[in-house]
Amino acid sequence: MTGESVVLRRGLLVVLLVDTVLLATLELFFLPLRLDGKLLPKLGDVPVPVTVLVAIVTTPLLVGQAGKLAGPRAAFAPLVVWVLTVVILGLFGPGGDLVLVQDWRALLLLAGGVLPAAVTLGSALATPRRK
């Protein structure tokens, strides 16, 4: 590998990590969505944690791409950054507010983000190193 290739791969890894922070923030702030007629249609004031689906899809993609870009050992970075962003921003949000809702949706978000990404991390670590 040339020096430019290593710099490019590390730069792309940094972009992936910034994307991870942005996605975790979006998933956290839109977690309390409800069918209450304000943002979504009014259908009985039911909670709709649609950002859990976003977490289920995007966190494994970020972990897999990090493993391809910077090697299997760097595949853990998006998962750690995602968890830290959700926990720190959720518990110590802007202005000291508690952003993480304290019900089943928070557990669903954490499970939906961590479990599929952990499976992808395991498969990334199991792949043989490129030479």
- Per-residue pLDDT tens over the stretch 94-115: 887 888 888 999 999 999 999 9
Give the residue, 2 or 29, on which the prediction is more confident. Answer: 29
> Which among 39, 78, 33 has a CA at the least distance from the CA of 51?
33
Quick one: how far is CA 15 from the chain centroid? 14
Q: Please check the confidence at residue 131 and state whether its pLDDT lies above 60.
A: no
56 in helix, strand or coil? Answer: helix
Q: How many domains does the chain have?
A: 1
Which residues sit opposite 42 in a β-bridge?
36
Whether residue 114 contacts residue 79, with contact meaning beta carbons closer than 8 Å, is answered with yes
Dihedral over Cα of 54, 88, 78, 5: its sign: positive
Q: Please check the confidence at residue 36 and state whether its pLDDT lies above 80.
A: no
Is there a domain that residue 50 lies in?
A: yes
Give the residue, 111 or 32, on which the prediction is more confident. Answer: 111
Label residue 120 by pLDDT band (50, 70, 90): very high
Residues spanned by the domain of 32: 3-126
Is there a domain that residue 131 lies in?
A: no
Residue type, 40: L
- Per-residue pLDDT tens over the stretch 7-29: 888 899 999 999 999 999 999 99
Is there a domain that residue 44 lies in?
A: yes
Label residue 129 by pLDDT band (50, 70, 90): low
31 in helix, strand or coil? Answer: coil
